[in-house]
Amino acid sequence: MEEKIIELISAGLKDLYQITDVAIKIEDTKKEFEGDYTFVVFPYTRITKLGPEQTADALGKYILEHSKDISSYNVVKGFLNLVIADHIWNAFLHEQFSNVSYGKTQFGKGKKVMVEYSSPNTNKPLHLGHVRNNLLGWSISEIMKFNGYDVVKVNLINDRGIHICKSMLAWIKTGNGETPDSSGLKGDKLVGKYYVAFNELMKAEVAQLVASGISQEEAEKQAPILKEAQEMLLKWEAGDEETMHIWEMMNEWVYAGFELTYKRLGCDFDRYYYESNTYLLGKKAVDVGLSKNIFYKKDDGSVWIDLTADGLDQKLLLRADGTSVYMTQDIGTAMMKYDDEHCEKSVYVVGNEQEYHFKVLKLILEKLEVGNASGLYHLSYGMVELPTGKLKSREGKTVDADELIEEMYESAKFKTNELGKTEGLEEAELHHLYETIGLSALKYFILKIDPTRKMVFNPEESIELQGNTGPFIQYTYARIKSVLRGYNQQINYSVSELFLLKPEKDLLVLLYKFEQAVKEASLVMSPAVIANYIYEVAQSYNHFYHECSILREENEQVKQRRLAMSQLAANTIKNALHLLGIGTVERM
RNA sequence: GCCUCCAUAGCUCAGUGGAUAGAGCAACGGUUUUCUAAACCGUUGGCCGAAGGUUCGAGUCCUUCUGGGGGUACCA
């Protein structure tokens, strides 16, 4: 429809004013005014030599004469508001109302994209920050799939490095052979406990050193337990048997724990990468870079790249002791990823604190000519903060993912029971209901916010189930399904020339824009576009529901139309919620 | 210091250079013999951080300033 209008305006400008070769832009008409699309004529008044009103009026007249699809127009100052004829909306409804995959586009057809998300460290459990990452990564993948892209979801497990050694060391020193079975703790929780323990042990040692007259900074470098961890990393890279054994055992615990959390969050992956498998490839690449003089070696043996010519600093690629760092691993991973899948685009869902890292990574890949540097895209999302301040995982001050999900579940359960809507449902159905509603509240609360922005997570607000929330949208869906159940026959809608009431038309126009939202969400990689869109749909449907009778409508044609609209709204909500990883329930 | 992102209602957030800046929450009031009240309708609440500039038109673009977040050579 937009294209048609643009053609009309373009023809009008040419015939009336001899204006050609200009990019015509139209926008949605603001609610306060009558019309569907608006064309702003201000920029053209200089050429038309007429006032804005006259220019717009002449153009409006021209369009009305040349198209049956525009039923009327009005002019406010320099704004030409065009009203689309009802038959267009009716035809759209007729075409789409039973389309269960309504909204799908072929926008990204033939393009293959890899989306890396989650990417946890194996030394501690998943927390609120990971939750945002997981939800974003999964949702963006699904949005791109919905747009026809071939998407490979990837999880890069950071299973090696000094941080892992810290957990291992603390476990060896203080664990007394504790296991998930013996402790009853989820595997990731158990390992996380020892990561916190390490930091406490180290803190004590640092305090002691400081007491003996050494500076804080120096003490933090010299703490014996830190030295031990560093030695352990060396042993690990050398393949020391005992170290490897403990490492493998503890990682298995963590994976089992993560798996449970992923399952509950609804995240899945097509492929897993392990940094323990990719860092050697990275090291090799560093050697190649050295021989090509892209990198250089300092006297202490550490390897660097000088990026001052690119406006950046110097960056470390290998430590003086020869062990690899984050960057080394990421070079190797990028190479392996490209070898495996040959995606033209590789998206990294990683927090914005690492923007610098990815800028450097991209440059290095470019210079080394490996791993498809041009396709690298860092989807940089904002940090999650609590009303009380920032999350601090080193001190164990976080919002734990599992606990958070459980709270949402309980909240949904409490609210459902309070409303007394549990009648006739069996235990398993109830569980499913609470789970679906609780997770919807959590997911929607996080995804409705623009990913690039930092967000404040208020636990009390997040468990709200009213207003602009996931459950509100689910409720609208359940309400529609209830109406459709009440009819319980095939909807038999045929295009009629009947007049659309305002709430009907508003809803239809909004539903028509789903594809546009789907496309935009994929372009800007933002589930928030979908979330905000579907919230408007739910609001609009509820308004329509209050204003217009459906089952009680006596005019059969109108009744069928409203049923068809309900059907289309239900399909739209279901598909949109799916893109956010949110399920629907038939009643709630 | 340098780089970068951000600043919109009491709170959390929307706002492709266009019209009178919008939602939700919170506060107050109303709607159910009628298709699900987790809903709907209304009231209160704004120098869009400040000052300049570009433009017919700026919350949106540019400059400066203020305040905050993040990054910045051996954590990841």
Q: Is the CB of A439 under 7 A from strand B?
A: no
Task: Check whether A215 has a pLDDT greater than 90.
Answer: no
Considering only residues 127-156 of protein chain A, which place a Cβ less than 7 A from any atom of strand B? none
* A117-385 CATH, one of 3.30.530.20, 3.30.930.10, 3.40.50.300, 3.40.50.620: 3.40.50.620
CA distance A238 to A73: 77
Strand runs labelled E in A77-118: 79-84, 112-116
pLDDT at A312: 86
Task: Check whether A395 has a pLDDT greater than 60.
Answer: no
The overall pTM is greater than 0.90: yes
Kindly list the distances between the CA atom of residue A172 and the CA atoms of A13, A159, A175, A241, in Å, as whole numbers in the listed order. Answer: 79, 18, 6, 15
Tell me the pLDDT tens digit for each residue of A500-553.
999 999 999 999 999 999 999 999 999 999 999 999 999 999 999 999 999 999
Question: In this structure, which amino acid lies at residue A25?
Answer: K
Tell me the pLDDT tens digit for each residue of A451-490.
999 998 988 888 889 999 999 999 999 999 999 999 989 9
CA distance A332 to A371: 9
DSSP class of residue A324? B
Considering only residues 288-347 of protein chain A, which place a Cβ less than 7 A from any atom of strand B? 298, 300, 302, 304, 313-316, 319-321, 325-326, 329
* Domain range annotation of chain A: 2-84, 117-385, 401-579
CA distance A80 to A72: 11
pLDDT at A47: 85
Q: Is the CB of A380 under 7 A from strand B?
A: no
Nucleotide nearest to A546 (CA to C1'): B40
**φ/ψ (deg, to 5) at A440:** -65, -40
pLDDT at A51: 87
Nucleotides in chain B with any atom closer than 7 Å to protein CB: 4-6, 11-16, 18-20, 22-26, 34-41, 56-57, 69-76
CA atom of A543 to C1′ atom of B42, Å: 15
On whether the CB atoms of residues A473 and A436 are closer than 8 A, the answer is no
The architecture that CATH gives domain A401-579 is Orthogonal Bundle (1.10)
Q: Do domains A117-385 and A401-579 have the same CATH topology?
A: no
Average pLDDT over residues A162-166: 91
Q: Is the CB of A468 under 7 A from strand B?
A: yes
CA distance A457 to A442: 10
Q: Is the dihedral of CA A282, A283, A288, A294 positive or negative?
A: positive
CA atom of A153 to C1′ atom of B74, Å: 32
Considering only residues 399-428 of protein chain A, which place a Cβ less than 7 A from any atom of strand B? 412, 415-416, 419, 421
pLDDT at A397: 59
Tell me the pLDDT tens digit for each residue of A313-323.
889 999 998 88
Q: What proportion of chain A, given as a percentage, has pLDDT over 70?
A: 98
CATH 3.30.1360.70 corresponds to the domain A2-84: yes
CA distance A470 to A461: 12
Instruction: Report which of residues A437 and A499 the model is more confident about.
Output: A437
How confident is residue A392, by pLDDT bands cut at 50, 70 and 90?
low
How confident is residue A214, by pLDDT bands cut at 50, 70 and 90?
confident
Closest C-alpha among A445, A455, A454 to residue A411:
A445
How confident is residue A77, by pLDDT bands cut at 50, 70 and 90?
confident
CA distance A440 to A434: 10
CA atom of A266 to C1′ atom of B38, Å: 23
CA atom of A140 to C1′ atom of B44, Å: 39
Instruction: Report which of residues A133 and A496 the model is more confident about.
Output: A133
CA distance A216 to A232: 24
Q: Please count the other Cβ atoms lying within 10 Å of the Cβ belonging to residue A181.
A: 10
Task: Check whether A293 has a pLDDT greater than 70.
Answer: yes
Q: Is the CB of A587 under 7 A from strand B?
A: yes
CA atom of A319 to C1′ atom of B75, Å: 13
CA distance A354 to A330: 12
CA atom of A582 to C1′ atom of B33, Å: 37
Tell me the pLDDT tens digit for each residue of A8-58.
999 999 999 888 878 888 999 988 888 999 999 998 988 888 888 999 999
DSSP class of residue A74? E
How confident is residue A289, by pLDDT bands cut at 50, 70 and 90?
very high
